[in-house]
Chain A
Amino acid sequence: MPDFAMQDLRIRVLRAIELQKQYEADPEHFPEELKVQLQIPAEEYAKIIEAIRQERRSAEPSKAVKTKAAKAKSAAAAVMPLDDFMNELHGGLK
């Protein structure tokens, strides 16, 4: 079953946003027990993001995707190196 981590994050983030609005509207009457849901702890959040990425990495890419990735890498390698660019920019070659 894909996207477990994403579903978990989505539900918690939307809940936190909703609670935040309630809290800002009336902080005095905001239930104490819900304050813990106002924010997802940073360390836990980072783990969820990593889990989302790992779920995607584990998906088997198709042959077409592999070809695209290889083409992108080859195209990136062909982009003008920084030194050449600097020469062009300051050398008035344009």
Chain B
Amino acid sequence: MTKGHLAPFPTVWDSTIRSAFVACPRQFFWGYLNHLRKSGLSVHLHFGGCFAKGLEVTRKSFYAAGESASSALIRGCNAIVEQWGEAEFPDVPPRSPAANKTLPSCIDALASYFEEWPLAEDRLQPYRFNGVPAVEMSFAVPIVGTAHPVTGDPLIYAGRFDMLGYWEDADSVFICDEKTSSNLGNAWINNWKMRGQLTGYVFGARQYGLNAAGCIVRGIGILKSEITFTQVIETRPEWQVQQWLSTLRYDLNRAAAMWAQAAELETPRNAFPQALDSACSSYGGCPFLDLCDSEHPERWIGEYDTLQWDPLRRVGE
């Protein structure tokens, strides 16, 4: 990145990119226009990616390939070991919650998950398209009412969820999303009431003709010596989806307008204002603090890696 150079505006958006933009437009500028990433691997992202891979392989082995539950679990564990690779996190403080996110705890979490929700008896069974179970699904939908600042085409909203399930008790289709966490208390449960990521999933499913009633969020608590679980059911009536869509349009068009303004500036980042509030310190601190608290951020960009975020791929793939 050189002075005056402006990176292309993203054509495909997802909840992660939108979340960065609404938290702080400058965070979006560094992370999703210039694709900067703090050097080193995040234990949380790595752990979550390995666990999701284990779930996917176990479910596909059982529901699609017809293997036994025990054989499917073995395949899931193999997938975790392979994806974990040689990763080590020596900088994680030993007594912190992050220290619980290890390869053994990931294997433990997978085995415990399928004890809590056994493959054959789980009330939420995968929805099937022509007999194929809907495990790991992605969607990409053009958002009418938005425009790319260069091409003028509608921007695309994409997402990927763990499973589309049919819940017989409710006679309804639900999106199932698993979240690993170190704490599954009330604060965790209240996270999902308004969460746009979930509303976006429901929107995506409905665009493909599936009248999803909402999302089931399954929390997997990774503690030092045990695994805990919580399940939250979130419905999304159509008015709420439309409310989300309207907000999404507003945010995407606002980002496009900032980009168009940046194209006229010698220092494009100045078109993306800093939030200068809790976004700078939440979740252990914004990864771009070293850039924002410098008068000459260009001097620090070399400390960062470059990695383009792909909304349709999982971390680690």
State whether A85 and B230 are in contact (beta carbons under 8 Å apart), knowing that A49-B107, A61-B225 are contacts in the complex.
no
Measured in the bound complex, the distance between the Cα atoms of B230 and A94 in whole Å is 23
Chain A residues near B225 (CB-CB < 8 A): 56-61, 65
A86 — nearest CB in chain B belongs to which residue?
A: B170
Q: Mark A71-89, 1 if CB is under 8 A from B, else 0.
A: 1111110111010011011
B183 — nearest CB in chain A belongs to which residue?
A: A68
**B185 touching A75, Cβ below 8 Å:** yes
Q: What secondary structure prevails in chain A residues at the interface with B?
A: helix
**A14 touching B81, Cβ below 8 Å:** yes
**B81 touching A9, Cβ below 8 Å:** yes
**B185 touching A42, Cβ below 8 Å:** no
Chain A residues near B243 (CB-CB < 8 A): none
**A42 touching B70, Cβ below 8 Å:** yes
Q: What secondary structure prevails in chain B residues at the interface with A?
A: mixed
**A53 touching B230, Cβ below 8 Å:** no
Measured in the bound complex, the distance between the Cα atoms of B112 and A67 in whole Å is 20
**B105 touching A89, Cβ below 8 Å:** no
Measured in the bound complex, the distance between the Cα atoms of B103 and A45 in whole Å is 16
A3 — nearest CB in chain B belongs to which residue?
A: B104
Measured in the bound complex, the distance between the Cα atoms of B183 and A68 in whole Å is 6
Q: Classify chain B: how many residues form its interface, as a range.
A: 35 or more
**A56 touching B104, Cβ below 8 Å:** yes
**A85 touching B233, Cβ below 8 Å:** yes
Query: For window 128-143 of chain B, which residues contact chain A by CB distance below 8 Å?
Result: none
Chain B residues near A52 (CB-CB < 8 A): 104, 107-108
State whether A73 and B228 are in contact (beta carbons under 8 Å apart), knowing that A14-B81, A86-B169 are contacts in the complex.
yes
- Residue A19 at the B interface, CB < 8 A? no
B213 — nearest CB in chain A belongs to which residue?
A: A89
Most buried by B among A13, A16, A59, A61: A13
**B226 touching A13, Cβ below 8 Å:** no
Q: List 23 A-B contacts (CB under 8 A).
A: A6-B103, A13-B78, A42-B71, A49-B77, A52-B108, A53-B107, A53-B111, A56-B105, A56-B224, A60-B225, A68-B182, A68-B221, A69-B226, A71-B183, A71-B184, A71-B186, A72-B185, A74-B185, A75-B189, A75-B230, A76-B231, A78-B186, A89-B213
